[in-house]
Structure 1
Amino acid sequence: MGFELSIILAYAFGLILLYIVGWVLLVPLKFIIRLIWNGVIGGVLLFLVNLVGAAWGIGIVINPITAIVAGFLGVPGVILLLLLQYIL
Structure 2
Amino acid sequence: MGLNVDWGVVLAFAGGLVLLYILGKIFVKPARFILKFILNGVAGGVLLWLINLIGNQYGFSIVINPITALIAGFLGIPGVILLLLLGPILNI
State the 1:7 CA deviation: 4.8
Which blocks of at least 5 consecutive residues in structure 1 are unaligned? Answer: none
Counterparts of 1:34 and 1:8, CA distance in 2: 39
Give the TM-score of the pair, scaled to structure 2: 0.78
Counterparts of 2:78 and 2:36, CA distance in 1: 14
Counterparts of 1:46 and 1:22, CA distance in 2: 36
Give the TM-score of the pair, scaled to structure 1: 0.81
| Equivalence for 1:18 | 20
1:77 matched to 2:79? The reply is yes
| Equivalence for 1:50 | 52
Counterparts of 2:60 and 2:36, CA distance in 1: 28
Name the amino acid aligned to 1:67. Answer: A
How many pairs does the alignment contain? Answer: 88
Counterparts of 2:64 and 2:41, CA distance in 1: 13
State the 1:11 CA deviation: 2.8
Which blocks of at least 5 consecutive residues in structure 2 are unaligned? Answer: none
Could you list the per-position Cα deviations for residues 10-35 of structure 1 after superposition, in whole angstroms to 9, with x for gaps in the alignment? 43332111111022122222122212
State the 1:47 CA deviation: 0.8
Please give the secondary structure, in 2, of the residue aligned with 1:49.
helix
Name the amino acid aligned to 1:71. Answer: G
Counterparts of 1:35 and 1:26, CA distance in 2: 14
State the 1:2 CA deviation: 4.5
Q: Percent identity?
A: 58
